[in-house]
Amino acid sequence: MGRLTSTIDAVQASAQKSLVAYIVAGDPHPDQTVDLMHALVAEGVDIIELGVPFTDPEAEGPVIQLAHERALVHQVTLTSVLAMVSTFRLEDAKTPVVLMGYLNPIEAMGYEAFAEQASLSGVDGLITVNLPPEEAGPLAIALQDKKIDPIYLLAPTTTDARAAAVCQASRGFVYYVSLKGTTGSGGLDIKAVCERVAHLKAQTTLPLFVGFGIKDGATAAPIAAVADGVVVGSAIVTLMGENQASPQALKLEVSELVRDIRTALNASNA
């Protein structure tokens, strides 16, 4: 069993919900990323989702687009992201790290080379935003050889037939994108999301995590009541943009946000 599954199992065994935090590697500066990852874990994050900067992040809203641009200013590539994961692993052998990005940098590295190097760096899972399972065959084989979990997305527009195929292809967990829209969109209809999550959960044995639109304890808790975990992204990345000048202030603000969400999750599951 991989680090991802054993972590999620342990969270579930303690009757808690998984908290996933997303940051873009290298944002606002490559020197801060590993430190921020440790800070997230210290505040109760179970899984780290690390965005791989790309020039054309077509599924992202303005907040995360700017994060990609901030990281690219410092020439952060897939290779440097893997190096950050290696550094993180020197002090944390326990917390799963999932990369989230677009296919082209992985294609450029080559599927086998990527799987090999990601595995050596201590990467546990991969979400490729623009790679539906239909096109993922060769990459999935390379990942399987190196015990890296491919994680696919479900959307509000996904039909039941497709949902079955997506869950079939996923390992570790399935990621439900709760909104039609880009990352950081507003106006989450919590009741509708909960109904949809309950419906999807009946169709798979994999843990179901929900992302997009979760920005604080108040939005996280009701979603976590029906899902196995929540992903917080744009809310954290917003703080990156606002606190570029001060790494100290950034760490404090990110820690505070994550602590609030963790507290809300724990309270609602108590």
Partner 1 sequence: MVSKQLGTNETLTSFPDQSGHFGPYGGRFVSETLMAALDELTLAYDGLKTDSAFLAELGSDLEHYVGRASPLYLAQRLTDHAGGAKIWLKREDLNHTGAHKINNCIGQALLARHMGKPRIIAETGAGQHGVASATVAARFGLKCTVYMGSEDIQRQSLNVYRMKLLGAEVVPVTSGSRTLKDALNEAMRDWVTNVDDTHYIIGTVAGPHPYPMIVRDLQSVIGREARAQFARQHGGLPDAVMACVGGGSNAMGIFYPFLEDETVRLIGVEAAGDGIMTGRHAAPLTDGIVGVLHGNRTYLMQDQAGLISETHSVSAGLDYPGVGPEHAWLKDIERAEYVAVTDEEALGAFRQLNLLEGILPALESSHALAHAVEFAGTLRKDQNIIVNLSGRGDKDIPTMAKIDGISIG
Instruction: Name the residues that contact partner 1, by CB under 8 A.
Output: 54-62, 65, 69, 72, 77-79, 102-109, 129-132, 134-135, 152-159, 162, 166, 177, 180-182, 185
Q: For partner 1, which is the closer residue by CB, 103 or 190?
A: 103
Q: For partner 1, which is the closer residue by CB, 19 or 127?
A: 127
Q: Half-sphere exposure of 226 toward its Cβ, with a 13 Å CA cutoff?
A: 20
Give min distance, CB of 245 to partner 1, in A. Answer: 22
Give the integer Cα–Cα distance in Å for 256 and 260: 6
Give min distance, CB of 56 to partner 1, in A. Answer: 5
DSSP tag of 179? S
Q: For partner 1, which is the closer residue by CB, 7 or 158?
A: 158
Cis peptide before 150 (omega within 30 of 0): no
Give the integer Cα–Cα distance in Å for 26 and 35: 11
Give min distance, CB of 127 to partner 1, in A. Answer: 11
Q: For partner 1, which is the closer residue by CB, 51 or 61?
A: 61
Backbone angles phi, psi at 109, to 5 degrees: -75, -30
Give the integer Cα–Cα distance in Å for 142 and 113: 9
Return the beta strands (E) in 143-207 as ranges: 149-150, 153-154, 174-177
Q: For partner 1, which is the closer residue by CB, 132 or 222?
A: 132
Give min distance, CB of 180 to partner 1, in A. Answer: 6
Give min distance, CB of 177 to partner 1, in A. Answer: 6
Q: Return the closest-CA partner of residue 227 out of 169, 152, 177, 164.
A: 177
